[in-house]
Amino acid sequence: MILLDLFLTFFRIGAFTFGGGYAMLPLVQQEVEHHGWMSKEQLVNFIAVSESTPGPFAVNVSTYVGAVTGGLPGAFAATLGVVLPSFLIILIIAKFYERFRKATAVESAMRGLRPAVVGLIGASVWSIGREVFFRERIEQADFAAPQLYLSLGIFALAIYLSFGRHLHPVKIILISAACGIAAGVAGLL
Amino acid sequence: MTFLKIGAFTFGGGYAMIPLIREEIVHRHRWMEDKDILDITAIAESTPGPIAINSATFVGSRVAGLPGAFAATFGVVLPSFVIIYVISFILRQFENFAAVRYAFFGVRAGVLALIVNALVSMYRQCSHDVFSWCVMGAALVLVAFARVNVLWVIAGCAAAGLLRTGIFEKTGRPPEGSEKESSV
């Protein structure tokens, strides 16, 4: 039952990720790969699409995975799944707002969750980095191929543009796309 | 139900949404006060789920109860949903074009840089003490190398945070440091 599976999986993702944006990535990555809904390469490609379109990453990725695996009903089931936990929890909190603000248990749990998210995204950088530079596994031949050095070069440029020049993510994506096309046209890929 | 329309246009812009909420809700519609906006950020960050959804549900619910929450959340989700649904067809048709493959080759390296940027900004927002570093290291190693389920790691780290407070209750440590807004 693909629709139920989509709904439950994205419900889990919605219920167990704290913080916006890429905080969701590690769990999305685990679930999507585990189900075989998307390869790591497709996921990284999709992050670029998501960055270039409006809306939160969680909604974008759930809609996309749902649409690809189950058409319109799939997209609906996955998106509903990712939104529902937030919606219900916030509804309750809005009612007991004052008490929630003073709850020390929430702050205590967040003391553990904030660094956890940093570590988890670190793990994503590790696995996605391997995918970007070496594909499936690291082989001797990779070090002779121009792809590795091109990727490293584009990565270094993007790091500079992002940290040094504070360029908007969409511009960084466009520039790296242009670099990729230039390399392809030059016959290096 | 004007919220629906506003939601669709203003919230669509992704992560730079807190200033947009302020502009629309506080200055234009006067539904909430400036200090409430600060609380939204705190609550959206300390509850599960995407920040955009959390903020929209919260604002909607405070302004107009359950229907408001529903309308606001719907408004945030709808633009993304429609855009991505359309893109899902286009993307699959063009996936095998040479130019698109070349472009994505470059884009993957660029995306990695964006994720590194997110990692650094989240690290900066996090408190810097031995406890935090231990949790970070543990989460990283468990997921990247030991391939432990992410769900267990998240639950474990929340439990560690609770335990830590239980142990250090009486030492009266200073509260959390920065509350900067993530820009990515």
The verdict on B102 and B114 lying in the same domain is: yes
Average model confidence (pLDDT) across chain B: 76
Q: How many CB pairs under 8 A join A and B?
A: 368
A18 has which bridge partners? B48
List residues bridging with B48 in a β-sheet.
Answer: A18
Q: What pLDDT score does B178 carry?
A: 32
One domain for residues B35 and B58? yes
Contact A7/B at CB under 8 A: no
Q: What percent of chain A shows pLDDT beyond 70?
A: 92
Contact state of B77 with A83 under an 8 Å Cβ cutoff = yes
CB spacing of B84 vs A59 below 8 angstroms: yes
Question: What pLDDT shows up at residue A62?
Answer: 92
Q: Is residue B90 part of a domain?
A: yes
Structure ipTM over 0.85, yes or no:
no
Do B32 and B55 lie in one domain? The reply is yes
The alpha-carbon gap from B28 to the nearest alpha carbon of chain A, in Å, equals: 22
- Sort out which chain B residues have CB atoms less than 8 A from A47's CB and list them: 111, 114-115
Which pLDDT band holds residue A37 (cuts at 50, 70, 90)?
A: very high
List the end-to-end C-alpha distance of chain B, in Å, as a whole number: 30
Asked whether residue B182 is assigned to any structural domain, the reply reads no
B140 and B168: one domain?
Answer: yes
Which two tokens mark B93?
């048709």
The CA–CA distances, whole Å, from A137 to A80, A131, A134, B26, B144 equal 36, 8, 6, 52, 15
- For residues B127-151, average pLDDT: 86
**Domain end position, chosen among B45, B75, B94:** B94
Domain around B28: 2-94
- In this predicted model, which residue has the larger pLDDT, B135 or B2? B135
Q: Which two tokens stand for residue A49?
A: 């699409």
Do B131 and B118 fall within a single domain? no
- B87 and B100 in a single domain? The answer is no
The chain-wide mean pLDDT, for chain A, equals 85
Q: How many domains does chain B have?
A: 3
Distance CA A2, CA A76 (A): 12
Residues B20 and B82 in one domain: yes
Q: Does residue B64 surpass a pLDDT of 70?
A: yes
Q: Are residues B89 and B151 in the same domain?
A: no
Q: Looking at the predicted structure, is the pLDDT value of residue B34 above 80?
A: no
Position B183 pLDDT exceeds 50: no
Q: Is residue B139 one of the residues assigned to a domain?
A: yes
- pLDDT at residue A139 above 50? yes
Give the max Cα distance, chain A.
63
Question: Both B23 and B56 in a single domain?
Answer: yes
B66: in domain? yes
